[in-house]
Amino acid sequence: MIVKKDFVARGRSVTDLKAHLVLTTKYRRKVFTCRMIERLHEVFEDLLDKWDCKIVEFNGEEDHVHLLFQYHPEIQWRSNYLYLEKIHRESRFPYR
């Protein structure tokens, strides 16, 4: 039997909530480079730390990025999702 040890405990609640977010480029154009994906990882990691979340898995390809993270139910998910989407949409990457 495998026992998970990555639960989030606050107060009297214990949770294991995860969200899988996939961000794609417009028309699935192949524009992401390795350096751009690494930079996105850094940005998302810093942002999720501010929200008390933890990245479980992050990877990407030339036309999309996958982000799997763990969060607590107190987080206002809708507004945070819109903020993540805005960062992704308005990002300016100097790396090409």
At 36-45, the pLDDT tens digits run 999 989 988 9
87 is written with which tokens? 């960062």
Distance CA 64, CA 29 (A): 9
- Residues 71, 77: contact at Cβ < 8 Å? yes
Indicate the pLDDT class of residue 64, thresholds 50, 70 and 90.
very high
pLDDT value for 96: 47
Domains of the chain: 16-90 (3.30.70.1290)
Indicate the pLDDT class of residue 77, thresholds 50, 70 and 90.
confident
Distance CA 96, CA 46 (A): 22
Flag whether the pTM goes above 0.85: no
